[in-house]
């Protein structure tokens, strides 16, 4: 059994390679999105090598701080300008909720493939040419909880089959394992295999940046190999995107020079330590505010000073501490951008769907999601959420 449409995507990519068409990968800018993009890029490059064709491929990412999540209008305009003669666009770890942008891309003559593991919204699917999403209607594949890197690995298998070189397979599985852990996907079924296989020899990785981290860290300071992976993932948790929409993490993961990779590893570790201090400071600040209103049904707080960059990590810690739904946001002049973490029994996507008319954008997974809301709707949004959670609890 196969994921719905994965064979169609592989065939379309092979055709694009044969015809030497321009392929554009568009990944989300977190560890899973970038890993999914790197895996797709390396698998497609290999397929082109077997077909003895010159490959035209490039990869872009959204600037989460400036543009928000996903395949946004800004980046689309950039692509339209840069590729006037059109291309095959493949979105990874995003796209399934980008109705307008995908419509526009196709109107401009681009072909669009979505490979996304996020939950489609109830209204249906965007008008893409091909969609792979295990959570879409009609996908009977029994396992649903792949990371997007896992979906890219499935694509690699479909593209290369028996011809996938074993070293490439090992290397792609390492990224799949790390992204599965980073995206907090449930460790069951195929995810267990990916993690087991991916981590089994990761300390001797062929990927210079991974090897570099294992050289820097003293294994005695960690309880397990998995703890080292958590640490490396926290170092990879940088969303720096340059003005050409290329992600720093993408450079890092694809760096082939061993010395350059060592420098990257040191730089990332320093940056990660600095970020941890920021997260603790913000967490303390949020805790003070929340403790002054301890009877509240949900945690719904924001501030102009709470950087969206750190809010995901802070929200996770707050949910653990208070065991309540957490909606925290950075407030800008006209709108606020926030992050959501919920205790296990709730679903963030459903919660926001219940009042989506108040929101500019929202998306994510049941336990973790994000939103953008006009400031004049903040109070209404909060009331609607409280009503939603009261209703769910009474059912």
Give the interface with Mn ion as residue ranges (CB under 5 A): 32, 93, 148, 183
SS3 371: strand
| Residue of 209, 210, 205, 208 lying closest to 167 (CA atoms) | 205
CB neighbour list of residue 237: distance below 8 Å, 6 or more residues apart: 30, 31, 182, 272, 275
Query: By C-beta, is 172 or 384 nearer to Mn ion?
Result: 172
CB of 106 to Mn ion, least distance (A): 24
For residue 151, the minimal CB distance to Mn ion (Å) is 9
- Specify the residue, 63 or 183, whose C-beta has the smaller distance to Mn ion: 183
**CB < 8 Å & 24+ apart, contacts of 77-81:** 78/244, 78/245, 79/24, 79/26, 79/105, 79/110, 80/105, 80/108, 80/110
CB of 365 to Mn ion, least distance (A): 8
Select from 277, 249, 280 the least CA-distant residue to 265.
249
On whether the CB atoms of residues 240 and 309 are closer than 8 A, the answer is no
Q: What are phi and psi of 31, to 5 degrees?
A: -55, -45
SS3 call for 22: strand
> For residues 145 and 183, which CB has a smaller minimum distance to Mn ion in the complex?
183
Rounded to a whole number of angstroms, the minimum distance from the CB of residue 184 to Mn ion is 9
CA distance 167 to 133: 27
In the complex with Mn ion, the residue whose CB is nearer, 168 or 185, is 185
Residue number closest to Mn ion, CB atom: 32
Task: Please say which residue, 148 or 234, places its beta carbon nearer to Mn ion.
Answer: 148
- CA atoms of 355 and 6, how far apart (whole Å): 34
| Nearer of residues 32 and 174 to Mn ion, judged by Cβ | 32
Tell me how far, at minimum, the Cβ of 312 lies from Mn ion, in Å.
12
Taking the complex as a whole, how short is the minimal distance between the CB of residue 272 and Mn ion, in angstroms? 20
Please say whether the dihedral angle defined by the alpha carbons of residues 62, 68, 70 and 73, taken in this order, is positive or negative. negative
């Amino acid at each position: 059994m196969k994921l719905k449409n994965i064979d169609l995507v592989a065939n379309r990519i092979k055709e694009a390679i044969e015809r030497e068409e321009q392929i554009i990968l568009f990944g989300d800018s977190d560890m899973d999105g970038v890993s999914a993009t790197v895996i797709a890029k390396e698998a497609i490059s290999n397929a082109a090598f077997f077909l003895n064709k010159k490959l035209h491929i490039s990869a872009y990412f959204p600037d989460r701080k400036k543009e928000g999540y996903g395949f946004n209008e800004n980046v689309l305009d950039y692509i339209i300008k840069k590729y006037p003669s059109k291309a095959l666009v493949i979105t990874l770890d995003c796209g399934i909720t980008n109705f307008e942008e995908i419509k526009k891309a196709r109107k401009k003559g681009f072909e669009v493939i979505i490979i996304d593991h996020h939950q489609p919204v109830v209204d249906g699917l965007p008008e893409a040419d091909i969609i792979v999403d295990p959570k879409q209607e009609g996908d009977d594949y029994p396992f649903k909880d792949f990371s997007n890197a896992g979906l890219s690995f499935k694509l690699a298998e479909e593209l290369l089959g028996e011809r996938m070189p074993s070293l490439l397979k090992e290397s792609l599985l390492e990224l799949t394992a790390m992204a599965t852990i980073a995206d907090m996907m449930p460790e069951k079924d195929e995810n267990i295999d990916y993690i087991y296989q991916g981590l089994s020899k990761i300390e001797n990785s062929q990927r210079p940046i991974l090897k570099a981290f294992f050289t820097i860290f003293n294994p005695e300071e960690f309880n397990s190999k998995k703890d080292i992976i958590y640490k490396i993932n926290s170092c990879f948790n940088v969303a720096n995107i340059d003005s050409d929409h290329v992600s720093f993490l993408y450079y890092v993961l694809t760096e082939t020079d061993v010395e350059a990779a060592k420098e990257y590893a040191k730089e990332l570790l320093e940056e990660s330590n600095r970020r941890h201090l920021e997260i603790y400071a913000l967490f303390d600040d949020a805790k003070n505010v929340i403790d002054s209103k301890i009877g509240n049904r949900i945690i719904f707080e924001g501030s102009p000073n709470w950087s969206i960059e750190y809010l995901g990590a802070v929200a996770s810690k707050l949910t653990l501490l208070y065991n309540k739904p957490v909606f925290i946001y950075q407030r800008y002049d006209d709108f606020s951008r926030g992050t959501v973490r919920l205790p296990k029994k709730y679903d963030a996507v459903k919660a926001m769907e219940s009042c989506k008319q108040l929101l500019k954008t929202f998306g994510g997974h049941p336990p973790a999601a994000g939103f953008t809301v006009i400031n004049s709707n903040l109070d209404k949004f909060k009331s609607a959420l409280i009503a939603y959670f009261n209703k769910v609890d009474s059912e």
